[in-house]
Amino acid sequence: MKKYHKILGLLLGVSFMFTSTSCLKDNEHFTDFANVGAIAEIPSAAFYGIVENQSFTFSTKPVGYSFDVNIASPSTLSQSVDVTVGVDAGALKKYNDANGTTLEVLPTFGYTLVNPTVTVPAGKRLGTITINFNTDKIDASKSYALPISIKTATNGIVVSSNYSTKILAVKIKNIYEGEYTATGLFTHPVNGPRKINRPKTLQTVNGNTVETEFADLGGSGWTMQLLVNPDNTVKLTPTGAANAGTVQFGVNIYDPIKKTFTLNYQYSGGGGFRVINETLTLN
């Protein structure tokens, strides 16, 4: 990703040069670029939009992420420029209001802005901002975002009015999250057995727990959480509208090699137990 950001920075510099010429007076022999200013911007916001969705794998160690700021100008500058960024809650509110979204500002315990100020050396265009995310402290069920804006730039450099903000929509996932295929059998004491063969999405709850559809009853609001223990045995907990009296029996385990969950569980109802035997296989 950094390679592409550096290319973007160079392209923006060239683009700035050409678009600026329409504002300049020239004659048949000479075009004067001397008075064209320079702009501090975030290239990825210009090319990909203000919001960037970023998924980070759950870890007990900080997870690093970086992006570039760019000094767009007809030519590289002869002096260095210090560019300072900061969290901009107002920018996130403006985005939410405009788009009907409800993204929340990521709490400060969820990240560290490693270098809020970066120096772009003379003769260069790009500087790199680094953020460390504390993924083990971030609630995976929340819709968090980290809005970062350029606050200032030294030596008279103007901050872009259009491309100075980047909103990182942060999603935390553990190693079990993903798209799975569920196969197996749902045995009803009155209606008999029916096959289970359907896609299921497993979503992160925390570092070792995911939540998904209960048997084939997700359309009725039945869900379940699967907690993977250190020995790869699985604890199943009914959630949502699922029968709170659900119990496990037989083998309930996660295979880290095949990336499959083997689940056996049942709950009581009219006529007896509803018995579910299913395997969830990562696609």
Q: Tell me, what DSSP letter sits at residue 90?
A: H
Q: Tell me, what DSSP letter sits at residue 108?
A: G
Q: What would the CATH number be for the domain defined by 178-282?
A: 2.40.128.420
The list of the chain residues with pLDDT below 50 reads: 1-34
- Which CATH superfamily groups domain 2-173? hypothetical protein (bacova_03559) (2.60.40.1740)
User: How high is the pLDDT of residue 185?
Assistant: 98
User: How high is the pLDDT of residue 36?
Assistant: 52
User: How high is the pLDDT of residue 1?
Assistant: 45
Beta strands in 189-271 (DSSP E): 192-206, 209-213, 222-228, 234-240, 247-248, 253-255, 260-269
CA nearest neighbour of 184 among 283, 280, 282 = 280
46-82 CB burial, b ≥16 within 10 A, e <16: beeebbbebebebeeebbebebbbbbbbbeebeeebe
User: Whats the size of the chain, residue-wise?
Assistant: 283
Task: Write down the domain spans for the chain.
Answer: 2-173, 178-282
